[in-house]
């Protein structure tokens, strides 16, 4: 049974599951801002900073569970500037490698987009490493590539890669909550 939760706090058990999910995604080659071998202190600090942003209402964290197991997450970082309250950044879409290709990212993204609309956010932006498999997913999900910056990010071997930037305008009614 799949269940989506918007996490308003990050308790100890959830913190541990989030660290584990991020670790396994990094170890499987995802470009998420961390190197291998994974520094667990850095990951713990990262999730503490996310918890602080959730508490100040600057960020929303959505989690997809299969039973009690956390299988995917995505974040919505809300622009707090007065002239930017219509936009948000999509960050850290994580799907456990053992559960990929089952539609979990799609389910979670639909839910996140619906929540964005409910929070008055109609423009979503994101970035991802160019040529990464995530690019194909975002394109298929209706995000438009607006460009890339060469040599923007390095992989865990120190090789530099381009980063691609995407946006999606959510006209009211374009996001849906259908999780089936």
HEC secondary structure over 102-145: CCHHHHHHHHHHHHHHHCCCCEEEEEEECCCHHHHHHHHCCCEE
Which CATH number fits the domain that encloses residue 97?
A: 3.40.630.30
Compare 167 and 154 and report the one with higher pLDDT.
167
pTM listed for this prediction: 0.92
Q: Is residue 130 situated within a structural domain?
A: yes
Q: Is residue 178 situated within a structural domain?
A: no
Residues 43 and 11: their CA atoms lie apart, in Å, by: 15
8 Å CB contact between 156 and 136 = no
Q: Is residue 116 situated within a structural domain?
A: yes
Q: What pLDDT was estimated at residue 172?
A: 59
8 Å CB contact between 85 and 120 = yes
Q: Which domain holds residue 74?
A: 2-169
pLDDT tens string 81-112:
999 999 999 999 999 999 999 999 999 999 99
Q: Is residue 29 situated within a structural domain?
A: yes
Q: Is residue 174 situated within a structural domain?
A: no
Q: Is residue 175 situated within a structural domain?
A: no
Tokens of residue 58, six digits: 């600057």
Residues 88 and 170: their CA atoms lie apart, in Å, by: 11
- State how many domains the chain has: 1
pLDDT tens string 19-76:
999 999 999 988 899 999 999 999 999 999 999 999 999 999 999 999 999 999 999 9
Q: Is residue 176 situated within a structural domain?
A: no
Q: Is residue 118 situated within a structural domain?
A: yes
Q: What pLDDT was estimated at residue 176?
A: 45
Residues 45 and 56: their CA atoms lie apart, in Å, by: 17
Residues 104 and 84: their CA atoms lie apart, in Å, by: 29
């Amino acid at each position: 049974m799949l269940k989506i939760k918007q996490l308003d706090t990050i308790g100890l058990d959830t913190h541990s599951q989030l660290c584990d999910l991020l670790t396994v995604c990094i170890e499987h080659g995802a470009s998420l801002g961390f190197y291998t071998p994974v520094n667990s202190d850095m990951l713990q600090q990262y999730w503490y900073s996310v918890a602080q942003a959730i508490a100040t209402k600057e960020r929303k964290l959505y989690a997809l569970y299969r039973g009690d197991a956390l299988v995917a997450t995505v974040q919505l970082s809300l622009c707090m500037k007065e002239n930017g309250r219509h936009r948000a950044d999509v960050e850290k879409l994580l799907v456990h490698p053992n559960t990929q290709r089952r539609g979990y990212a799609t389910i979670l993204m639909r839910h996140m987009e619906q929540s964005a609309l409910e929070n008055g956010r109609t423009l979503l932006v994101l970035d991802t490493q160019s040529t990464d498999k995530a690019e194909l997913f975002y394109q298929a999900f209706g995000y438009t590539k607006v460009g890339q910056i060469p040599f923007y990010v390095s992989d865990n071997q120190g090789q530099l890669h381009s980063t691609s930037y995407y946006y999606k305008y959510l006209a009211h009614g374009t996001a849906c909550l259908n999780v089936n």
